[in-house]
Amino acid sequence: MAIAELRAALREHRRIALDTCVFIYQWEANPRYSPLTDLIFSSLERGDFTAIISTVTMTELLVHPYQQQDLARVHDLIALLSEYPNLVWLAPDLEMAARAAELRAQHRLQTPDALQAAAAVYANASALVTNDPMFRRVPEFEVLILDDYV
């Protein structure tokens, strides 16, 4: 039932931002969330929507492999995610950084979250998939909280 609800929510959007946790849950095969992230990634691969990702996500994803000195994992993640279908990476430029600062000031976001939100706004994403309810403070897009679907 929860998967059907998430599927219906995703169908309402053509451009969706993904928070880092979506990738972490998928790559760690988190038993609580992997049915949901499997749906997200299979929908993305089919082209049901385009996913917007800030390069902040890559920074966050690579910390653990670098801590473990697992350079093979670093290279695997970069190779996989740089070529993933329908996944658009946005690097913060000055305009996006200014928008992130504005969002941070208006909605009391931490800087990495403000950059994620700014990427979503900049790319005209109509939704952001996350598990962090503080993104609900940002009215420019719908926030789909994974915990609401488990």
- Identify the CA nearest to 25 among candidates 10, 4, 41: 41
- The residue extents of the domains of the chain are 2-149
Query: pLDDT digits over 87-145, tens only?
Result: 999 999 999 999 999 999 999 999 999 999 999 999 999 999 999 999 999 999 999 99
For the full predicted model, state whether its pTM sits above 0.75.
yes
Query: pLDDT digits over 27-59, tens only?
Result: 899 999 999 999 999 999 999 999 999 999 999
CATH number of 2-149: 3.40.50.1010
